[in-house]
Amino acid sequence: DSGVTQTPKHLITATGQRVTLRCSPRSGDLSVYWYQQSLDQGLQFLIQYYNGEERAKGNILERFSAQQFPDLHSELNLSSLELGDSALYFCASSVGNLEQFFGPGTRLTVL
Amino acid sequence: GQQLNQSPQSMFIQEGEDVSMNCTSSSIFNTWLWYKQDPGEGPVLLIALYKAGELTSNGRLTAQFGITRKDSFLNISASIPSDVGIYFCAGATNFGNEKLTFGTGTRLTIIP
Q: Could you read off the pLDDT of B24-56 as tens digits, one per residue?
A: 999 899 999 999 999 889 999 999 999 999 999
Q: Can you spell out the DSSP letters for chain B?
A: ---BEEE-SEEEEETT--EEEEEE-SS--SEEEEEEE-TTS--EEEEEE-STT-EEEETTEEEEE-TTSSEEEEEE-S--GGG-EEEEEEEE--SSS---EEB--EEEEEE-
Q: Can you spell out the DSSP letters for A69-105?
A: -TTS-EEEEE-S--GGG-EEEEEEEESSSS--EE---
In tens, the pLDDT along A26-72 reads: 999 999 999 999 876 678 999 999 999 999 899 899 999 999 999 99
A 38-97 near B (Cβ less than 8 A): 41-45, 48, 55-56, 58-59, 90, 92, 94, 96-97
- In this prediction, residue B68 carries a pLDDT of 93
* Partners of B106 in the β-ladder: B87
d(CA B18, CA B31): 25
Q: Is B3 on the interface with A (CB under 8 A)?
A: yes
Kindly identify which residue of chain A lies nearest to residue B36, measuring between CA atoms. Answer: A102
Q: Is B42 on the interface with A (CB under 8 A)?
A: yes
- In this prediction, residue B50 carries a pLDDT of 92
Q: Which of B49, B27, B45 is nearest to B35 (CA)?
A: B45
d(CA B12, CA B48): 25
